[in-house]
Chains A and B, each alone.
Chain A
Amino acid sequence: MAEQTFVNCTGGGPIRVHVEDGKITKVRPLVFDETDAPSWTIDVDGTKYTPYRKACVAPFSLTERSRVYSDERILYPMKRVDFDPDGAPGSTGPGGRNPQNRGKSGYDRISWDEALDLVAGEMKRIRDTYGAEAIMSRASSHHNWGNLGYRSGAWARFFNLIGFTDILDNPDSWEGWHWGATHAYGFYWRLGNPEHYDMLEDALRNTELLISWSNDPDTTHGIYGGTDSAVWRLWLRDKGIKTIFLDPFHNYTAAHVGEKWIAYRPGTTSALAVAIAYVWITEGTYNKEYIARRTYGFDEFKSYVLGESDGVPKTPQWAAEICGIEARTIVALAREWASHRTSLAGGTKGGEGGACRQAYATESARHLVFLQAMQGLGLPGISIWGTANGPPYNHTLEFPGYAQGGFNLIAEKPAINPIKQRLYRLTVPDAVLDGHIEWMGEGFCGNSIEQHFTKFTYPLPGHSEVKMFYRYGGSFLSTMTDTSKWVRMYQSPKLEFVVNQDCWWCNETKFADVILPACTNLERDDISEWASSGGYSLHASGSANHRVIVYQQKCVEPVGESKADYDIFIELADRLGYKDQFTEGNTFEQWIKKMYDWSDMPKYMDYEDFKKKGYFVVPQLENYKPAYALRWFAEGRACDTPDTSNPKRGTDKADELMTDTGLIEFVSQSLMRHTPDDDERAPLPKYIPSWEGHESELFKKYPLQLISPHPRFSFHTHHDTRVPWLSEIPEHRMWINGYNYQVCRIHPEDAEARGIKHGDVVKLYNDRASVLLGAYVTERVRPGVVHSYEGASRYDPLEPGKADSPDRGGCVNLLTPGRMMSKNVPGMAPNSCLVEMCKWEG
């Protein structure tokens, strides 16, 4: 049969999929043709910058063929061998449910009808017995792509329709910015990340120096933008703009464009930041006019920095001791920063970065905002910008991001979850095991900063505890913290029934009683825009050079007996009596057409043409005029960027930030209102030694600091061992004695002190867990720090099903602390983690 090609999209960009005889043969980056809209050009003093005419997708997006046909695909529905649904909840032995064997026992293949009847039957029983709230569910991010076919589409519609205890996500990639920076400069509707409009052009025109502080956009891709922004950083480099990298790890962007690496100690960001402020204050090299005009509470900060309020001047010498770098380097950095128009990248979205996933990272994120405030945040070339978002951008074509409502945008009747009870992702196991939990603060909460202070109680009065877990896509075992508690939770009799619906065998799949195989988005249709999440990240498709709206064309039939998520949920809805409400009589294709009709696409491209071609490149606006992020604020004008999520935009307060004072607040008035006595997230942020860092008592026992950033070669758990091609990148995994170990980077001095050689199997351990890894001895980490990526797709305890067993799959989050960032901040702090390493002789 002749070769056919299809267009689809991934978490790293749009691809062209070649198919022969019903099998995918190759996956290419989508290349634009001459009928597609022209690309933008930025002209800076006669030098013209224009992107390539192709989608520079994430490297892992080119492994989709391997991932679709992975040995780890779930091929048919399955039931755990020792799970008998007729057994009483918690029953053990023959004829029992045997929850204690979750994670240990194997599975029997069953038919779809049997599986669906069983799952629907259990759902009915549990709903009838305890109420709809007794079922909890959650999807992981990014295992597929599409607005309708998976997470924010089919899954959300089904569960919101039938009612369930939703598990609230924590903003795991930018915790400190969300919980902290919002209280300095607003942007709660962006979960703490600043707007990014036209920052590329601003940098090319105006920026003289880039500070990349815990930022690795060559790895984190502005989240979904693939490698599209890599060329921007080359343009900046070749223009002579140097980048200084502050990171305990010599990261991949540093390796590409880094001019200077300042390898400071994890957990000490705040100390370094306030010492820089000290140099500026004592040398008078900050923008006093801006401070007077656009900020609030500087004098109190100044008093703290100079030591007037606490007797400790935050001198470079003071910080040097804490940060593990020389005082003279801090002075040099401060001076170079202040004497140039400097852009600060605190993470791939402006915020983000491993430094914000640590104890008290609310304080360090605020301190980074303060530093740019002292230099005039928003003035030409002076920004908080991750170098991975903000090319010239036509925002006028409305097309929904995946988190912008999904079916609710187009359904006659939106699905709204009637159940008010909530759980919190990081503490689900604690809640289930203890039967009670309370916390303050909503994670993904872009409606108001007040949501940071919402109090939650589980169980909600009058509500049942959860009895069933419907787990959908991906794994938290290697993305959340202190995760062996998930194993203990799964084996608890309190969970009467566990379902896992996924495309691949994931870390948590083998803890289910029934497994439902879903197909990937290459095996079904969908509709989406590249890199567009919508929701709390408006115009996020500006992490790519072109806006590409995709009709995701089904390329091949589902592998094995796997089914589209939407179809699985129809079957369950049918059995529960919700089918008509779920589908409203639509076929999936009709839903796609409705979303197309909802958007502005009909003005640009005929539906059939769109469906046939598979994509549309949004044209640039004629006579495009940049509206630089936060320039309006710096200049005291009304907001003129397209950030329509900004609640003050278009009002008479449009020149203000969304803080209480409308200014950048050195002393947060929102914290003053809510938690004025909180000394861990005080209205004025301070350097506080980490509760698990080099100044802790535990450091004597566990003298290595583990950092576990987002992975270079995988997207969380979603590629990794699914793709054999990743198994032989020695910077990702190593084959040692026939087993494929995730690598852990360690400095040669630390390795030698422990008798460890490159390529040894090592045990990384602390009181929480032990993980076996391959030692990668390198000068890319500073002494005292070990580095191993979060997101291992394999959990492989030496004793299956035993929570305390050493894992050799590489789930380093078994080691990370479950403790929250601070007492009123339910953010995770995986990079505040002390460990020891030894050679594994097992």
Chain B
Amino acid sequence: MGKVFVIDLSICNGCHTCQFACKDEHCGNDWTPIAKPQPEIGQFWLKLEERVRGTVPKVKVAYRPHLCMHCDDAPCIESCPIPGALYKRDDGLVVIDPVKCTGCRNCPDACPYNVIYFNEDLNIAQKCTGCAHLIDSGWKEPRCVDACPTLCMKFMEEEEAKELIKDAEVWMPEIKDQTKPRVYYLNMPKKFIAGTLYDPAEEEVMIGATATLKSAAGGDPLTTETDSYGDFWFEDLPDGVYSLELQADGKVTTFTDLNTAEADINLGDIPLT
């Protein structure tokens, strides 16, 4: 049990408030024994990442606040040679003791999520503490969560979050069984295949055409209809190879070998002849 972060990426508008609030709390402020000051620049105890998906004009933007995952089986703790210098609290937060840390630099390398920074001036490793110093003084949540204007970030008791996180995902799911992260993401975007269908004879978009997408991995095909712009969107697709059939008025166009592993796919304007 203990605390978890639950972040709904469908609500996040990428405003960076979380990142600024984190800097405001930690840059130049000394919260020993939980943390020493974060340098003004160069470290991101919380980093808001922007990723652009697709191509003009089928573009979507994915944001993700990236922070310490406060793992239950934290590789950083395992890598630390000093007893008690890198520890897990009862509330689940993982903290580097800035006094006990000797600057051996094991933990930045051990962390698979790249969230531990090394402070050359202080000769210590530093990272997100979940604002444990505030939690200890009665705050209900860390600064990033406190400041979020869309409430996309939540800091909750794992027990209370159970329902919320049952379909949640984690960053780098391939290692989650080894690390057991405590930061959960809702509505993490996957890949899309999209395009616009038009009738070249009429020079008009085709509305209500059927688009059918089949995954090479099998399973039921996905179908959708083109919207009022002739656009079709298949979203939340796992990486894989797909074939697509577009059909209207007895005319059919097909695409094969659409591989979403590399990137989202905008098929552009497609004439249906």
Contact = CB atoms under 8 A, between A and B. Distances in A.
Nearest to A333: B229
Interface in A18-42: 25-29
B239 interface: no
Contacts of A335: 228
A352 B44 CA distance: 35
B189 to A, nearest CB: 12
A582 to B, nearest CB: 37
A729 B228 contact: no
A261 B203 CA distance: 20
A242 to B, nearest CB: 9
B52 A234 contact: no
Interface in B14-35: 14-17, 19-21, 23-25, 27-29
B73 interface: no
A260 B231 contact: yes
B150 interface: yes
A710 to B, nearest CB: 15
B250 interface: no
Interface residues of B, number: 46
B75 interface: no
B29 A25 contact: yes
A729 B17 CA distance: 12
B143 A778 contact: no
Contacts of A66: 23-24, 27, 40
Given A226-B149, A250-B61, A65 B52 contact: no
A43 interface: no
B104 interface: no
B245 interface: no
A682 interface: no
A26 B25 contact: yes
Interface in A706-740: 713, 724-725, 727-731
A161 interface: no
B219 interface: no
Contacts of B44: 728
A56 interface: yes
A261 B40 contact: no
Given A331-B204, A778-B52, A780-B61, A256 B13 contact: yes
Interface stretch (A322-330, A438-446, A513-521, A807-815): A322-330
Contact of B15 (A59, A262, A730): A59
A332 B230 CA distance: 8
A331 B198 CA distance: 12
Contacts of B151: 52
B110 interface: no
A732 B108 CA distance: 27
Nearest to B230: A332
Interface string A38-75: 00000000000000100011011011011001000000
Contacts of B17: 59, 62, 227
Contact of B24 (A26, A252, A729): A26
Given A226-B149, A263-B56, A724-B41, A63 B20 contact: yes
B15 A218 contact: yes
Contacts of B27: 66, 725
Given A263-B56, A728-B42, A779-B55, A256 B198 contact: no
Question: Most chain-B CB neighbours within 10 Å: which of A328, A335, A727, A729?
Answer: A328
A631 interface: no
A263 B41 contact: no
> Residue among A28, A329, A731, A747 with the most chain B CB within 10 A?
A329
B150 A234 contact: yes
A255 interface: yes
Contacts of B52: 250, 778-780
Interface residues of A, number: 56
B50 A731 contact: yes
A62 B230 CA distance: 43
A231 interface: yes
Contacts of A79: none
A783 interface: yes
Nearest to B30: A25
B56 A747 contact: yes
B143 A779 contact: no
A438 to B, nearest CB: 44
A331 B204 CA distance: 8
Interface in B36-65: 40-42, 44, 50, 52, 54-61, 63
Nearest to B48: A729
Interface string B163-198: 000000000000000000000000000000000001
A178 B28 CA distance: 45
A730 B63 CA distance: 13
A261 B150 contact: no
A632 B28 CA distance: 55
Given A63-B20, A328-B204, A779-B52, A230 B59 contact: no
A228 interface: yes
A262 B15 CA distance: 23
Contacts of A326: 198, 269
A66 B11 CA distance: 28
Contact of A328 (B55, B59, B230): B230
Contacts of B54: 779
Contacts of A341: none
Interface string A7-25: 0000000000000000001
Interface in A750-782: 778-782
Contact of B57 (A255, A262, A317): A262
A231 B15 CA distance: 13
Contacts of A234: 11, 150
A90 B21 CA distance: 49
B53 to A, nearest CB: 8
B14 A252 contact: yes
A783 B59 CA distance: 14
Contact of A256 (B14, B19, B205): B14
Contact of B229 (A65, A260, A724, A782): A260
A255 to B, nearest CB: 4
B146 interface: yes
B55 A332 contact: no
Contacts of A329: 205, 229
A226 B61 CA distance: 21
Contacts of B11: 234
Contacts of A730: 50
Contacts of B57: 250, 261-263, 782
- Point out which of B11, B24, B54, B198 has the most chain A C-beta atoms below 10 A from its C-beta: B24
Contact of B13 (A226, A230, A263): A230
A63 B24 contact: yes
A263 B14 CA distance: 21
B258 interface: no
Contacts of B13: 218, 227, 230, 252-253, 255-256
Nearest to A245: B57
B20 A725 contact: yes
B161 interface: no
B147 interface: yes
B59 A779 contact: yes
Interface in B230-249: 230-231
A336 interface: yes
Given A59-B16, A725-B27, A728-B41, A28 B146 contact: yes
A56 B146 CA distance: 10
A336 B15 contact: no
A778 B20 CA distance: 24
Nearest to A735: B41
A799 B183 CA distance: 50
A242 B98 CA distance: 49
Nearest to B42: A728
A261 B42 CA distance: 35
A65 B230 contact: no
9 contacts: A27-B24, A66-B24, A234-B11, A250-B61, A255-B14, A326-B198, A331-B205, A730-B50, A782-B56
Q: List 6 A-B pairs, minimum CB-CB distance, nearest first.
A: A56-B149, A255-B61, A227-B149, A256-B13, A62-B20, A336-B228
